[in-house]
Structure 1
Amino acid sequence: MNVKNTGGGTAEDVTIELMPEYPFTLDSSSNARQNKGCIGTDSSALYEYRLFVAADAKPGTHEITIRYQDDEGTTWSEKDFEIKVGTDTLDSRGTLKLEAIKTDPEVLIPGDDGTVTITLTNTASQYSVTINGKDYDTNAQLKEVELMGSDAIVVTTGSYRNMGVLGPEDSIEISYNVRVSDDAADGTEHLNLALTGSSHTYNAKWNIPIRVESSGIKIIPSKPLKLACDGDKIEFDVANTHSSTFTSVSIEPRAEGITFTPAEYFIGTMEPDELFTIEFDCEVTGNSSDDAELHLYAEYRNGNNQHERVINNRVIEIEPVVPEGNSSTVMIGAALLLVVVVGTGIHYRKRRKN
């Protein structure tokens, strides 16, 4: 039994007592009570008992009572657990191996839904085996297969029961739907896959690693964000910084007083670390003397999960252009200035000569 402290403080002196009734008995009544001492917050302790089942026990589900106290002298609490008893145990010698783990999408983003597919294989290579002069078949029974979640990942698919047997070298794929919490941290979450086989000897547990990353699409200007007031082009590098392949990637720029063509740039599929360079034609329709705040909207899919990212910390600098009418005025002004300068020089020389 795994006992976990889910309270807000340390349980100082934890004692567990198994209280079996027919059809269950302990190997010794003196082993019924076990003390593991203190258990810290969110910590666990493992308690093991050797339990026997009466030979005339009826097949079906039976209950066993466990009581516990978190400190000596405090009130005992009780909880009942179900234990299955049956006569359908197969005397087989097939052994199951965890052959493969596949996650779709390969790396999940916080808030994502995904699918974990497990492949189990019977490692036997022949249909029977002789042990101590007795022949056994090498089928492997699957009574129950369950995937258990973690603090950051919830498994939304229940356990699979009574799945039959696998012959030598046969395989089976089992899929579970999972959901990542919105506040999951980057890293690897570890789920537990529990197999109930033909007997306790053939039960198994495996660790199922699931990767979580919050990174996504990154957009970088590939040249300065400057526009003439009569329009120009802007260019961006778009990179997939996530470890999964993204699909349906599109970029939409928005800025007040500027019209972009195309209005939205569709990239499509982007592999991890892949980079695309995209370009927009720009027409300035607002006040040409004002810079414009640029908002970039990136949409993409990770598996079946739709994501959107908004980048707001960009500014487009709009360079003013001198109007055509001002050029002649400037030239006339320059000519008048030249006349004034020349006239002043002649007058100055005349005064020196006099």
Structure 2
Amino acid sequence: MTQSTANLLRYLFVLTILASAITIAPATAAGGALKVDITRYEPYPAEIGKYVDVWVNVKNMGGGTAEDVTIELMPKYPFTLDSSSNARQNKGSIGADSSAMYEYRLFVASDAKPGAHEITIRYQGDEGPTWSEKDFEIKVGTDTLDSRGTLKLEAIKTDPEVLIPGDEGTVTITLTNTASQYAVTINGKDYDTNAQLKEIELIGSDGIVVTTGSYQNMGVLGPDDSIEISYNVRVSDDAADGTEHLNLALTGSSHTYNAKWNIPIRVEIAGIKIIPSKPLKLACDGGKIEFDVANTHSSMFTSVSIEPRAEGITFTPTEYFIGTMEPDELFTIEF
């Protein structure tokens, strides 16, 4: 949940808002569809006669919860597990559109040949006799095949969807390897189609500061595989209304495979508006004033309260608590 704060001074009022964008989780149901990927391994490439750490991500792509997710790494020569008891791992259930990360440590045989070698990972979403399997390649040694995978920017998601000055939010970026097969032959020479991720950095703009550092040495992304990367951002209090343009910089296996993408982020100055619904007139002995309070932000606000302040004037009530305000919702309040 992302916290938002907006301060508006108008008609001698100070508006105090504690706001958060609300995400509604999908209902739980049986039958999650699992996607298994090796997100990275270190060192890259794996070194002969040494250990290599492998991170396996399991994402539930289905509409329901996968109740009892188990994965098992089945190494092949030249790889062996640090302990055979670590081969099978179970982290319980994985909700819809959620992920779990599993870590393995493999030893590379001292007589291994440089090149790409396979391991097999099998997995199941519920306990039973049925397993699915997927093979992955791990590069070994310095004399490995050149990588020719190409990445594309698949999706950009901002939470909240529209930011306001003073906001803190999250930008999630999806990158996909566009290759559809594991190897290609160019001029009689074989190349693998993995995409190497040496460094990925989101660079801020005048109005938005990126508070998450760059991701480094993230390994490789196989053909047709995707990776989601999240960055925390903060919008300056004086950010202008409009679109801020951030830059995503990728360092790949060589200069040819480096890339930069424009990341547009929408900023809206208006969040809550206070509009007098009647003429602002007070007699010497007091009176009543009435205002309309409108949420012009595209996200829901919670814990909205209005606190009037003016020199020499006492207001009753001293604070008007509205609570939750949906986008475009309007309340009329009276003091």
Query: For the Cα contact (< 8 Å) 1:223–1:236, is it kept in 2?
Result: yes
Deviation at 1:145, TM superposition (A): 0.4
Deviation at 1:98, TM superposition (A): 0.9
- Give the equivalent residue in structure 2 for 1:183: 238
Structure 1 278/127 Cα, relative in aligned 2: closer, same or farther at 3 Å?
Answer: farther
Task: Tell me whether 104-113 or 143-152 shows the greater mean CA deviation.
Answer: 104-113
Residue matched to 2:112? 57
Can you give the 5+ residue segments of structure 1 that lack an aligned partner in the other structure? 281-354
Q: Residues 136 and 86 from structure 1, CA distance in 2 versus in 1: closer, same or farther, beyond 3 angstroms?
A: closer
Q: How many Å apart are 1:205 and its aligned residue?
A: 0.5
1:18, distance to aligned residue in structure 2 (A): 50
In structure 2, relative to structure 1, the CA distance for the partners of 1:136 and 1:191 (3 Å cut) is same
Do structure 1's residue 79 and structure 2's residue 127 form an aligned pair?
no
Is the CA contact 2:145–2:192 (under 8 Å) kept in the aligned structure 1? no
SS at match of 1:191: strand
Q: Do the aligned partners of 2:115 and 2:145 also contact (CA within 8 Å) in 1?
A: no
C-alpha distance 227-106 of structure 1, shift in aligned 2 (>3 A): same
Report Cα offsets for 1:287-316 as digits up to 9, x if no partner.
xxxxxxxxxxxxxxxxxxxxxxxxxxxxxx
| 1:268 Cα offset (Å) | 2.9
Quickly say closer, same or farther: Cα 1:228–1:13, change in 2 above 3 A: closer
Q: Which moved more, 1:270-279 or 1:207-216?
A: 270-279
Q: Which runs of 5+ in 2 are unaligned?
A: 1-55
CA RMSD of aligned residues (A): 15.2
Taking a change above 3 Å as real, the CA distance of residues 186 and 51 of structure 1, as seen in their structure-2 partners, is farther
Aligned partner of residue 314 in structure 2, secondary structure:
strand
Deviations 1:297-345 (A, max 9, x none): xxxxxxxxxxxxxxxxxxxxxxxxxxxxxxxxxxxxxxxxxxxxxxxxx
Worse overlay, 55-64 or 238-247: 55-64
The alignment status of 1:267 with 2:325, answered yes or no, reads no
Range with bigger deviation, 28-37 or 131-140: 28-37
Between the aligned residues of both structures, percent identity stands at 92
Aligned length: 280
Q: Are the counterparts in 1 of residues 157 and 171 from structure 2 also a CA contact under 8 Å?
A: yes
1:175 aligned counterpart, secondary structure: strand
Distance in 1, matches of 2:304 and 2:190, equals 60
Cα distance change on mapping 1:20 and 1:258 into 2, 3 Å: same
Query: Deviation of residue 243 (structure 1)?
Result: 4.0
8 A contact 1:89–1:199 mirrored in 2: no
Distance, in Å, in 2 between the alignment partners of 1:151 and 1:16 is 45
User: For residues 41-87 of structure 1, what are the alpha-carbon distances to aligned partners after superposition, in whole Å with 9 as ceiling and x for unaligned?
Assistant: 99999999999999999999999999999999999999999999996
Residue 194 of structure 1 and its aligned partner are, at CA, apart by: 0.7
Please list the CA deviations of residues 15-57 of structure 1 after superposition, one character each: whole Å capped at 9, or x if unmatched: 9999999999999999999999999999999999999999999
The worse-fitting range, judged by mean Cα deviation, of 157-166 and 27-36 is: 27-36
Check whether the contact 2:194–2:220 (CA below 8 A) recurs between aligned residues. yes
Alpha-carbon distance, 1:186 to partner: 2.2
1:240-296, Cα deviation, whole Å (9 max, x unpaired): 23344433212234578987665533333334433223355xxxxxxxxxxxxxxxx
The 3-state SS of whatever aligns with 1:201 is helix
TM-score scaled by length of structure 1: 0.47
Deviation of residue 196 (structure 1)? 0.9
Q: Does 1:236 align with 2:291?
A: yes
Q: Is 1:147 matched up with 2:202?
A: yes
Q: 1:199 deviation in Å? A: 2.0
C-alpha contact (below 8 Å) 1:90/1:199 kept by paired residues: no
Cα deviations by residue, 1:168-209 (Å, 9 ceiling, x for unpaired):
222211122223333332222211111011222211100111
Secondary structure at the counterpart of residue 50 of structure 1:
strand
The answer (yes or no) to whether the contact 1:89–1:198 under 8 Å persists in 2 is no
Q: Distance in 2 between matches of 1:203 and 1:82?
A: 22
Q: CA deviation at 1:156?
A: 2.4
Residues 185 and 234 from structure 1, CA distance in 2 versus in 1: closer, same or farther, beyond 3 angstroms? closer
In 2, Cα distance between equivalents of 1:15 and 1:246: 39
Partner SS, residue 163 of structure 2: coil
Offset from partner CA, 1:84-116 (integer Å, 9 cap, x none): 999688612222111111223333333433322
Residue 24 in structure 1 maps to residue 76 in structure 2: no
Q: 2: CA distance between counterparts of 1:45 and 1:175?
A: 15
Distance 1:21 1:36 in 2: 24
Which has the larger share of helix?
Answer: 1
State the distance in 2 between where 1:6 and 1:127 align: 23
Q: Report which stretch shifted further, 134-143 or 267-276.
A: 267-276
More RCO (CA 8 Å, sep 6+): 2
Q: 1:208 to 1:85 in 2, by over 3 A?
A: farther
Distance 1:115 1:72, change over 3 A: closer
Gap change, CA 1:207 and 1:133, over 3 Å in 2: same
| Contact 1:90–1:141 (8 Å) recurs in 2 | no
Do 1:12 and 1:71's aligned partners in 2 also have CA atoms closer than 8 Å? yes
Residue 6 of structure 1 deviates from its aligned partner by 48
String of CA shifts for 1:127-175, please: whole Å, max 9, x gaps.
3334344443322111110111223333222211100111222221112
Q: How far, CA to CA, are the matches of 1:128 and 1:81 in structure 2? A: 13
CA contact (8 A) 2:116 2:144 kept: no
Q: Contact 2:197–2:220 at 8 Å: present in 1 too? A: yes
Residues 241 and 84 of structure 1: CA distance in aligned 2, closer, same or farther (over 3 Å):
farther
Q: 1:124 aligns with which of 172, 179, 191?
A: 179
Contact 2:116 2:145 (C-alpha < 8 Å) held by counterparts: no
For 2:209, what is the secondary structure of its paired residue? strand
